[in-house]
Amino acid sequence: MKWFENYESYDIPPDDKNVIRRINATLASEKEKILEELTEKYSQRDTKFNAIITLGIGDGKDYSYLNEHPIFKSILLRTGKDKGSSLFSMGGWVSLYR
């Protein structure tokens, strides 16, 4: 995943870079297992419906989603602004990415 591979170029504190580096290392080492589980789960979905895939980050006891970590919101806003379109509505911003 490019987000996690390109962390050195991000203008973020060293501690945040270290978090992303560790996540990238875990994703790389667990790639086959993740793909197998993803394929299995996706094949079990009702084909009349689409699926949303998200990434949970855990420590073995608990997990959270990317949007719960301010660092990822910051990275998304910085890296995504040139890759997509933003729309504003009464409820807030919506960003569409290619």
pLDDT digits (tens, 9 = 90+) for 56-68: 887 778 888 877 8
- As beta bridge partners, residue 89 has 92
Assess whether pLDDT exceeds 70 at residue 87. no
Question: How far apart are the C-alpha atoms of 63 and 43, rounded to whole Å?
Answer: 24
Phi first, then psi: give them for residue 69, nearest 5 degrees.
-115, 115
pTM: 0.65
Average pLDDT of every residue of the chain:
77
